[in-house]
Structure 1
Amino acid sequence: MEIKEKRTKMMGEEKVSKVLVKLAIPGIIAMLINAIYNFVDTLFVGMLGNTSAMAAVSSLAFALMNQAANPYGDSAVAGIGIGIKAFVIGMFLILGYNQGFQPVVGYNYGAKSYNRLFESVKVALKHTTIIATVSTIFFLLFSKEVVSLFTNDREVIMVGARFLKAMSLLFPFFGFQQVCAVLFQGLGKGKQAFVLSIARQGLFLVPSIIILPRIFELNGVIFSQTVADFFTILITGIFAIKINKELNEENENISGIDLKEVG
């Protein structure tokens, strides 16, 4: 009972930013360890000089990128593979943060504490945008240096650096995308959460990879994720406007009922 009371007090009374950081830290650490493990593993493989091994990864996004880059040679495949591996670190930080954000959403929505719900969304957007923006600046400034950790091949470094910069262009909005996806999940809006969860890496990325390389060749592969991010941001914005309106209406209805009861 004491544990339950402490959790209730934390969720309902403590400063929202403090609660989010407290709950997010374990998720961030776990995701960061996973990302660093993958990063070091790829670095070790890269030292062996096996470009086909460097390109090996299990994600659907990489498999699609790998297939699309294959006609442009081993350097293109290796460069894009390295770029994805390195970029995952920034993504995992935000995904880890959102593991702490989700229970805060669920608790406050269930308790009809709309003010704290709105505040938690605002704080989460601020924190994740800062993380994404810092990651973007880092990869824009040090893309060549990052890729150079894996290989000395100048062509691979050139492709990998261009890919990292392309991935970074709209990454400051990644926090917005993920916070909204987690928000819908926490609110029990399954359809919207599902659409947002598959939008970036599936719904928009797949057609981008299929269409763009036919028009722009290797540049089409490099910027396919950027195009997918653009359309993901649009659909996320549409969903965000709609859910903000719905939540405000619910809040007004609850406030209206409370005023009548008080009267």
Structure 2
Amino acid sequence: MGATSTIMPYAKKYAIIFVISTVFSAANVTAGNLAVSQGASNISLTAMLTGTILNMILDPIFIYTLHLGVQGAAIATLISQIVTSAIYVRFFAGGNTFVKVGFSYFKPTSQIYGEIIKIGISTLLLQLLSSLSMSLISNAASNYGDEAVAAIGIVLRIVTLGANVVIGYMKGFRPMAGFNYGAQNYLRLRSAIKSCMQWTTGFCIIWTALIFLLANPILSLFSNDPQVLSIVVPALRANTIMFFTFGLQFTYSTLYLAMGKALAGGILNVCRQGIMIIPVILLLPTMLGLTGIIYAQAVADLLTTIVTIIFAISIHKKLSQVENSVGISN
């Protein structure tokens, strides 16, 4: 997956502990969705913020004060996930929830799993393909030394920070879109789509501008190595140049899934980090070397945007047809 001989010992120390934390992480994602689904979004927010802030506090303590290095970072993550789990356990054990959690309620049926898989398969594929694409990028970067691997890793982290804001917005957009589509309130659905596009695209444009203007001071927080910075500065700008389309991409992939159109939604969902990026990262570096790695995500975003626009036009035509059929004015 791109770990060089010098990076491997650190990767192992971190991974062994981090893998344990993913057990709690998976439980926390499930518990968070259960809390939000019954209107207790404040519990989910409290749990996530507590874990995140605790992780930020513990990181320097374990890494620098206790001299545990990357292993300390993993321990901080594990403790933070356990504390987050404890908050959810307390909430669900308190008896004040609409959704009751217990083994006695576990009565799976093919219908239940069918509905879960139909909508969830795209997210599963997105996670798997995202991991694969990141591995391919890191592996390609390893051919150019530890500095290239470190640079690409920094870029992915910064881009993910911006992407998570958009993804968080989609968590609110998805139930609203699904409810209004199911209730045949197409005027409000269109309003929700427009609002989502405006807010997410506006954020993406501001984020892109900040990255271009403040690339050097931002990156100096991660590394002062001149060799790393010589790669990471152009790489960050290249990976951000198409970020203004991120809101468009996720609005319509989320919309299709919210409307129950699993196949189309799944295609859009995995387009950016799977269908497009994987062949691009396999081809571009063979032609352009390190430059190909740096611009791979931008090319994948451009192709994904073109596909998304085609799907967006299609869904709006269908919505117009449905509105006309039920006598609703556009």
Distance in 2 separating the partners of 1:26 and 1:133: 31
Are residue 218 (structure 1) and residue 306 (structure 2) matched? no
1:9-66 C-alpha deviation (Å, 9 max, x unpaired): xxxxxxxxxxxxx999998998888888999999999989x89xx9xxx933321210
Q: Which amino acid aligns with 1:67?
A: N
Q: Would you say the 8 A contact 1:25–1:97 is kept in 2? A: no
Distance in 1 separating the partners of 2:54 and 2:280: 30
1:201-252 C-alpha deviation (Å, 9 max, x unpaired): 1100001110000110000000000000010000000000001000000001
Distance in 1 separating the partners of 2:62 and 2:219: 13
1:43-54 mapped onto 2 (5 Å cutoff):
none
Distance in 2 separating the partners of 1:40 and 1:203: 38
Q: Which amino acid aligns with 2:326?
A: I
1:182 is aligned, of 254, 261, 266, to 254
The residue number in structure 2 matching 1:261 is: none
2:264 is aligned, of 189, 192, 196, to 192
The residue number in structure 2 matching 1:246 is: 318
1:140 is aligned, of 212, 226, 249, to 212
Task: Show structure 2 runs of 5+ residues with no match.
Answer: 1-38, 74-129
The residue number in structure 1 matching 2:141 is: 69
The 1:138/1:145 distance shift into structure 2, 3 A limit, reads: same
1:103-151 C-alpha deviation (Å, 9 max, x unpaired): 1101111111111110110000000001111111111111222221121
Secondary structure (helix, strand or coil) at the match of 1:116 reads helix
Point out 4+ residue stretches in structure 1 off by more than 2 angstroms.
22-48, 58-62
Q: Which amino acid aligns with 2:164?
A: F
Are residue 154 (structure 1) and residue 229 (structure 2) matched? no
Task: Show structure 1 runs of 5+ residues with no match.
Answer: 1-21, 259-263
Are residue 106 (structure 1) and residue 178 (structure 2) matched? yes
The 1:42/1:172 distance shift into structure 2, 3 A limit, reads: farther
The residue number in structure 1 matching 2:12 is: none
1:15-30 mapped onto 2 (5 Å cutoff):
none
The 1:36/1:206 distance shift into structure 2, 3 A limit, reads: farther
Structure number with the bigger relative contact order (C-alpha 8 A, sep ≥ 6) is: 1
Higher mean displacement: 134-143 or 230-239: 134-143
The 1:195/1:211 distance shift into structure 2, 3 A limit, reads: same
Q: Which amino acid aligns with 2:250?
A: Q
**Coordinate RMSD, CA, aligned:** 3.4
1:93-132 mapped onto 2 (5 Å cutoff):
93-132=165-204
Q: How many residues align?
A: 231
Distance in 1 separating the partners of 2:220 and 2:152: 13
- The percent of aligned pairs where both chains have the same amino acid is 34
Q: Would you say the 8 A contact 1:24–1:99 is kept in 2? A: no
Q: Return the TM-score normalized by structure 2.
A: 0.62
